[in-house]
Amino acid sequence: MDKYLPIGSVILLKEGKKRLMIYGVDQKEDTTGKVWDYIGCLFPEGNIDAKHTYVFNHDQIDKIFFIGMQDEEQMEFNKLVLDENKA
């Protein structure tokens, strides 16, 4: 993957029944230390509580419904995160 989807993107996971909205990238689990590409919440409900938070990787996405806001700041952040992950 050469870039992350921007915050606000709305996707459906493979075998998923409910759309998710991405609200974070490059997420590290506190308990296991595993790093995930994204963290999302239910769409259109939004962030309800920790039980309704989903971490997933780009290859688990089946369909992209909406691509979130992209500007210079987001593109620079995307590059920074990708460069850190390559190190």
| pLDDT (tens digit per residue) in 22-80 | 999 999 988 999 999 999 999 999 999 989 999 999 999 999 999 999 999 998 988 88
C-alpha torsion angle, residues 24, 65, 1, 51 (rounded to 10) = 40
Q: How confident is the model at residue 86 (pLDDT cuts 50, 70, 90)?
A: confident
CB 80 within 8 A of CB 74: no
3-state secondary structure of 4: coil
* 20 occurs within a structural domain: yes
Cis amide linkage into residue 6, ω under 30° from 0: no
Domain around 26? 10-86
4 found inside a domain: no
- Please give the tally of structural domains in the chain: 1
Q: What is the DSSP letter of 67?
A: -
The pLDDT of residue 38? 96
pLDDT at site 2: 63
Q: Tell me if 32 is assigned to some domain.
A: yes
pLDDT in the model for residue 32:
93
Residue 3 inside a domain? The answer is no
